[in-house]
């Protein structure tokens, strides 16, 4: 998973256009963990992958802080994810 406090890469066959805003659900692989809904803006998109170089199609998104999502909430989410990956 390529994710940080400010954004993430989403591998997908149908990347959205840069500039679009969307809601994404982040679901850790551990089924007992809770899910997060995050608002983000698409910053860049890769419409063609490169199989030989293991570069997939996808898009880079920047998380947005809004009334339902604060920087403090994002810090808590990624702190927990970092502990799980350790």
Flag whether 55 is in a domain: yes
- Tell me how far CA of residue 81 lies from CA of 7, 36, 37, in angstroms: 14, 12, 15
Flag whether 20 is in a domain: yes
Flag whether 1 is in a domain: no
pLDDT tens for 23-63 read 887 776 666 666 777 889 999 999 887 777 778 899 999 98
Count of domains observed in the chain: 1
Which residue would you say has higher pLDDT here, 64 or 75?
Answer: 64
C-alpha closest to that of 38 among 3, 75, 65, 4 = 65
Which residue would you say has higher pLDDT here, 42 or 70?
Answer: 42
**pTM (predicted TM-score):** 0.69
| Residue range(s) defining the domain that contains residue 73 | 7-85
Structure-block tokens of residue 13: 């066959």
For residue 22, how many C-alpha atoms fall within 13 Å in the half-sphere facing its CB? 16
Flag whether 38 is in a domain: yes
């Amino acid at each position: 998973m390529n994710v940080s406090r400010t954004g993430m890469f989403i591998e997908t066959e149908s990347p959205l256009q840069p500039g679009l805003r969307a809601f994404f659900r982040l679901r850790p692989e551990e089924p007992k963990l809770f899910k997060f809904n995050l608002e983000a803006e698409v910053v860049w998109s890769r419409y063609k992958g490169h199989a030989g170089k293991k570069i997939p199609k996808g898009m880079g998104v920047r998380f947005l802080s809004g009334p339902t999502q604060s920087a403090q909430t994002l810090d808590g989410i990624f702190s927990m994810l970092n502990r799980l990956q350790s």
